[in-house]
Amino acid sequence: MDVFDNLTGSLWVPLTVGSVMSKDVITVCSDETVASAAKIMSDNSVSCIVVADNGSVAGILTETDFLKRVAAKEKDFDRIKVREIMSCPVESISPNLSVFDAIRIMEDKHIKRLPILEKKRLVGIVTQTDMVRVVTFYGRWKDVEEIMSRDVAGIQSKATIVEAAEVMTRRKISCIVVLEGDEVVGVVTERDLLERVVALQKDPGQIKMEEVMSSPVATVSPDYSVFSSSRIMEKMGIRRLVITEDKRPCGIISQTDILRATKKKLQMETAELSDLRRRLKTEQSFAGIVGRDAKMLELFDTIREVAEVNIPVLIQGESGTGKELVAAAIHNEGHGTDKPFVPVNCGALPEGILESELFGHVKGAFTGAIQDRKGRFELADGGTIFLDEIGDIPAAMQVKLLRVLEEGTLTRVGGEESIKVDVRVISATNKNLAEEVAAGRFREDLFYRLCVVPVYLPPLRERRNDIPLLAERLLKKALTEVGREDVVLSPETVGVMMDYEWPGNVRELENALRYALVKCRDNLLLPEYLPLKILETYVPSQAYPRKQRKRKLDAESVWRTLEETSGNKVEAAVRLGVSRATLYRFLQESKITSK
């Protein structure tokens, strides 16, 4: 069974509790006696009853609440008020909550039912029984042995129910197996205690297990299916089955066990689905970075790894490869996504302005400093500062930057106060900083401060298989910006782009497509619309290299050949004995268009 089949059949789909809840909710007021409330619960075969005063939910009375009083040797249930033993405050949910979330609340809070409120008004209740009815259809367990509880409590039939209640309360179980010797003769549940103790009106310490037990016992073998077991429980109005092997109890399967297993299964499937979605998304893009080449997939993994730790990262790559996108991805994939991300182009600012830009200045520090101003480091406090073109900063600034990185404090230009900042530093350069260090143009100590984790961003020519995907994404982006209808790339255009070296990388590709859109007036973007620079460097993989051409192109022969090929420029180039690029260039220069 593949992962899609497994996930499609799971409760990961947004099924809400509103679709499975019981709308017929029985309520009592908090001044009602426990005996009266217990009789209502028994008569209506419900495991809990909502306590409501003046239209508001005040608490909930469950079989477990009653069990605790029996274990405490309580006798006068007709005198005890519901408010004295009810559970409160009440955990409640809205009808729009998913079934999976409701199961998780039940399991985490160790409760078996949840009142459902809408605008503070009680509209229903959802119980373990309601949940089990739904989830057993989706769970693919082979048999009850996979999920049954092996912690089986047994007690002899001559023991009192107070002894049983003490065991059940201490071990936090909702039923106990009744034995005669080693043989199972019955079972006592919270409901049995609720119904029969009240009905007998005797001192619980004087009531024997054989008087209140359910018999014969509904039992199944360990290899019985979970689905069939749940159906037996539903039809018999019980919440657990005893698992026996050779007439000896070896376990119990309850609605709690089924929901606990369902929660675990759904958590695993949800995690599996999240991982699958991540991998499917990564196959084409990650955090706005498009790529499915092996080098890019490795880059995506590196981004995820470094995003979780606050250490300096140095991104190295040629101009136009998208270094700022990578820096933003590292910031956004980490825990500080709600913190500031402050980029600075260090190479575009003179030394004097760069110092003020990075560290800020005080009023009067220089001509034009009419007020105090925070620098980029202060603005990025708690978040990330991205120092682009770090290889271009002058030597004096390298010293000042190093001090800030080492001490975590800065001083504004013209100021004296030391300001502490907590900033993650991501830097980028299109230079080989190791070579710059060797040449004495970049400080070695600053290099090691910045380059704790080096990240290499490959140029476009090293990941040519990404060009069609990138071109498609960039074309859609450009079309959206200019408000045009769909325009698609012709196979010939893709071929030309695949063979081009792209020295300007992704930025050049984006600009080339924008240029082509200006030239293109229909819905098919042909190679002839690309910039001349790209067509001039195109070397076709087909025959007819330039040295084999025996004649120059002329307008008449080109026009005639285009007529014969119905405007198919690729076939026309073959017939004319020239490359496609040559034909496209000739058409641009002579302004000839095919018919």
pLDDT at 594: 44
Domain ranges of the chain: 3-138, 144-260, 285-458, 463-590
Phi first, then psi: give them for residue 258, nearest 5 degrees. Answer: -65, -45
pLDDT at 537: 75
pLDDT at 593: 47
Q: What is the mean pLDDT of each run of 10 residues along the chain (595 residues)?
A: 37 65 85 87 81 85 79 78 86 84 81 83 81 63 70 85 85 82 81 70 80 79 81 78 80 77 70 60 66 88 91 95 93 86 91 89 88 93 95 93 94 93 95 94 95 95 91 92 87 90 95 94 89 79 40 75 80 74 76 47
C-alpha to C-alpha distance for 263 and 110, rounded to whole angstroms: 13
Q: What is the third-level CATH fold of 285-458?
A: Rossmann fold (3.40.50)
Phi first, then psi: give them for residue 344, nearest 5 degrees. Answer: -135, 125
Which of these CATH numbers, 2.30.42.10, 3.40.50.920, 3.10.580.10, 3.40.50.300, describes 3-138?
3.10.580.10
pLDDT at 530: 94
The DSSP line for 330-372 is HHHHSTTTTS-EEEEEGGGS-HHHHHHHHH-B-TTSSTT--S-
C-alpha to C-alpha distance for 440 and 442, rounded to whole angstroms: 6
**β-bridge mates for residue 342, sequence order:** 385
The dotted CATH code for 144-260 is 3.10.580.10
Phi first, then psi: give them for residue 531, nearest 5 degrees. Answer: -55, 145
pLDDT at 515: 95
CA proximity to 135, closest of 99, 171, 173, 180: 99
Q: Would you report the helix, strand and coil content of the chain in percent, each value rounded to 5?
A: 45, 20, 35
pLDDT at 198: 64
Pairing of strands 154-156, 175-180: parallel
Q: What is the third-level CATH fold of 463-590?
A: Helicase, Ruva Protein; domain 3 (1.10.8)
Burial class (CB in 10 A: 0-12, 13-18, 19+), 411: middle
pLDDT at 6: 39
pLDDT at 285: 60
Is 463-590 the same fold as 144-260?
Answer: no
pLDDT at 319: 93
pTM for the model stands at: 0.49
DSSP 250: E
The DSSP line for 82-110 is HHHH-B-SPP-B-TTSBHHHHHHHHHHHT
